[in-house]
């Protein structure tokens, strides 16, 4: 039922990353799916590829 609500009305997202983080991550409050932004600024589902990519980006930003 929760997924149906998100399909009809869209996801209700809250930011789960730090406020000033370079890598943005979001979570839907209704269906608990996780999302992130890709290189073009589009919101995509946070799967294993994007989790690995975000970890590498955080590590590279921490080195600076």
5-56, pLDDT tens digit by residue? 888 888 999 999 887 788 899 999 989 999 999 989 999 999 999 999 999 9
Q: Which domain holds residue 55?
A: 2-63
What pLDDT shows up at residue 17?
A: 84
Measure the CA–CA gap between 25 and 13, rounded to whole angstroms. 10
Total domains in the fold of the chain: 1
User: Which region, left, alpha or beta, applies to residue 41 given φ > 0 means left and ψ of -120 to 50 means alpha?
Assistant: left
What pLDDT shows up at residue 64?
A: 62
């Amino acid at each position: 039922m929760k997924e149906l609500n998100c399909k009809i009305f869209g996801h209700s997202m809250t930011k789960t990353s730090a406020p000033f983080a370079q890598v943005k991550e979001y979570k839907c409050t209704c269906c608990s799916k996780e999302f992130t932004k890709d290189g073009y600024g589009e919101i995509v589902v946070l799967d294993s590829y994007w989790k690995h990519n975000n970890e590498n980006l955080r590590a590279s930003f921490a080195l600076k």
